[in-house]
Structure 1
Amino acid sequence: MIPDISKITIPDNRNKIIQFLDELIISPRTNLRRWSELTNQTPATKIGYIGQHLASLITGVPGTGSGARGDDLADHSEVKSCNKVDQVDKCKDCGSRVLRFQTHCPVCHSANINRKNDSKWLFSPRSQEELDQYLNLSRLVLILMDYPNFAKLDFSDIRILAFEIYPREERMSVFRRLITHYYHNIYLPKHNDERGKTNPMNLHPLMFQFYKCNPIKTFECIIHDIDSAPNIEINHYIEPSTERGLSTPSVDMPSNLLSTNEWEDLIDNCDYETEILPRLTGSKREPEFRSLSIKEQQKLLPYLDETLKAKVPLREIVGLRQTAVYRRSE
């Protein structure tokens, strides 16, 4: 997994990334937020093309000017972007839409708001040729914008992450399994079904299937206090020419993502002394560890590295029909 150095032509990446974020993320959002308070329209921006610009700056590889067609980057990489920032929320009492910066429903004034965090990366192979393109990608670059403190309903900081998956590498072959299964077992049987259009394959950020693909995190930054005093902090960056081999670990999976059965099977299928004990945050002999509750065990083993992730089987993939029909409000 060595990037094509001949295609890396953008220098001074860190400084360019900071300038780009200031000019294309912070400034436009500031203006959109100000107008949103007047128009009651979402300040969210489509991240697709912005994500491609950002992917070029992170990888050092320019695009091909293809827009929505052709290679996203000159080294044949594909770029997918997901934006969880400024999603439109929903009032739990009256069902009205609520903008992210609104603390109360504008219709019924309830503070009982369902804050949305469900955006994902979408993959839609519609022919064997398109499937083969995904399977033979030299690199898949995943861009994510989200809130690092979403669980606390703190929307003051925005996080931007970049991950890389190399579908042709064995350690990342789960991506090939996912998209192949989707095409042959979900899309093909349903695409001519009049009862509803088949949804794309969803890859949810920071969830089970994502971690099973063994993505490598290449970039992370936090834009602190974006609505008051923006400050960009880059806290992780793998330089464009750095080899992404086995010495570069994939993202660890939080152990609490496993179901009870998955966790119990993992512990039973591992050699405790060589595979569990060295990874614990505290020293526990096996009988003592097994006597703990699952929650206590997971506190001692909060993350699963590639070795342990490989011991957890991929979950059954279920396809859903797109049956909802868009209608304007009456």
Structure 2
Amino acid sequence: MEQEPSVAELNEKVRRGLAKSFIEDAVIGQYHQLVRWQHITGQSAQIDSGYLGQHLVSLVSGIPGRGRGSRGKGADLADGSEIKIASTLGGVDKPRWNNKLNTPQAVDTYLNNPAIFFSLFDTPERGKDLPVRVRVWVIEPPQDAVFCNVVRTWAAKHSSGNFQLHPPCWSDSDVATNQSGDIALPLAFRATQLDIRGVDYLEVEHWDPSPGKCSVP
């Protein structure tokens, strides 16, 4: 059997198309079914956004995961980069991107990551099940003074050791909030489901795998 190509071997045009297909098939398709069933069962329509987000980030970035045997331990991508996922789909509370930084060494390690990808699954309007919107932002801490400054300002204060960024849920904004400073995140990917009856169709609205650095809003 011919071996499938690695995501690292695919060009941007192909990865963009695959990212669209992946969200239509694996995200919207599954979520749409759960939304239908929740009205019968009374259960949540939440999806496992963590693993879905990891697949998507590999397609956007062109960086593969570390293999099926990793089971979520250690770095998320083969180059040592991290992925943080948040989702409002099927949920009630506003989610957060949590980063466990309870020692100075953990802060240094975090800020030496090649990249940190922040992904958000939400809807344009709060309280609505659909349409689905998916965004990915990417930060390269070693080259991003604004991001590092916010993290180190937070780390200098007494805290629980959990650096929390609040994503821009139900908003077109790219600004993530934190008590030590708000930051405009560099947007790499944005796609939104179109309202076409009976068809799970997604429009890729933004694609830039190397979007630059954070800024102060």
TM-score w.r.t. structure 1 length?
0.54
* Match runs of 1:180-195 below 5 Å: 180-187=152-159
1:77 corresponding residue in structure 2? 81
2:113 corresponding residue in structure 1? 137
1:111 corresponding residue in structure 2? none
Structure 1 residues without counterparts, runs of 5 or longer: 1-6, 89-115, 188-197, 251-305, 313-330
Q: CA-to-partner distance for each residue in 1:138-158, whole Å, 9 max, x for gaps? A: 1111111111233xx544312
Shift of 1:215: 2.1
Q: 1:160 aligns with which of 126, 131, 134?
A: 134
In structure 2, relative to structure 1, the CA distance for the partners of 1:20 and 1:127 (3 Å cut) is same
Structure 2 residues without counterparts, runs of 5 or longer: 1-6, 169-174
In structure 2, relative to structure 1, the CA distance for the partners of 1:121 and 1:227 (3 Å cut) is farther
In structure 2, relative to structure 1, the CA distance for the partners of 1:202 and 1:36 (3 Å cut) is same
Aligned residues of 1:121 and 1:205 also touching (Cα < 8 A) = yes
How many residue pairs get matched?
Answer: 199
Aligned residues of 1:80 and 1:143 also touching (Cα < 8 A) = yes
Partner secondary structure for residue 70 of structure 1: coil
Shift of 1:217: 0.6
Taking the aligned partners of 1:32 and 1:155, their CA distance within structure 2 comes to 10
1:9 corresponding residue in structure 2? 9
Shift of 1:214: 4.2
In structure 2, relative to structure 1, the CA distance for the partners of 1:13 and 1:50 (3 Å cut) is same
TM-score w.r.t. structure 2 length?
0.79
Aligned residues of 1:156 and 1:227 also touching (Cα < 8 A) = no
Taking the aligned partners of 1:130 and 1:202, their CA distance within structure 2 comes to 15
Aligned residues of 1:174 and 1:212 also touching (Cα < 8 A) = no
Q: State the structure with bigger RCO (CA 8 A, min sep 6), 1 or 2.
A: 2
Taking the aligned partners of 2:48 and 2:55, their CA distance within structure 1 comes to 13
Moved more, 119-128 or 131-140: 119-128
2:95 corresponding residue in structure 1? 119
Q: Name the aligned partner's letter for residue 56 of structure 1.
A: S
Partner secondary structure for residue 157 of structure 2: helix
* Match runs of 1:1-330 below 5 Å: 8-11=8-11, 12-65=14-67, 66-88=70-92, 116=93, 118-150=94-126, 153-169=127-143, 172-187=144-159, 198=160, 200-206=162-168, 207=175, 209=177, 212-225=182-195, 228-238=198-208, 240=209, 244=211, 248=212, 306=215, 309=216
Aligned residues of 1:83 and 1:119 also touching (Cα < 8 A) = yes
In structure 2, relative to structure 1, the CA distance for the partners of 1:85 and 1:160 (3 Å cut) is same
Shift of 1:132: 1.9
Shift of 1:218: 0.9
Taking the aligned partners of 1:137 and 1:227, their CA distance within structure 2 comes to 43
Q: CA RMSD in A?
A: 2.7
Shift of 1:249: 7.0
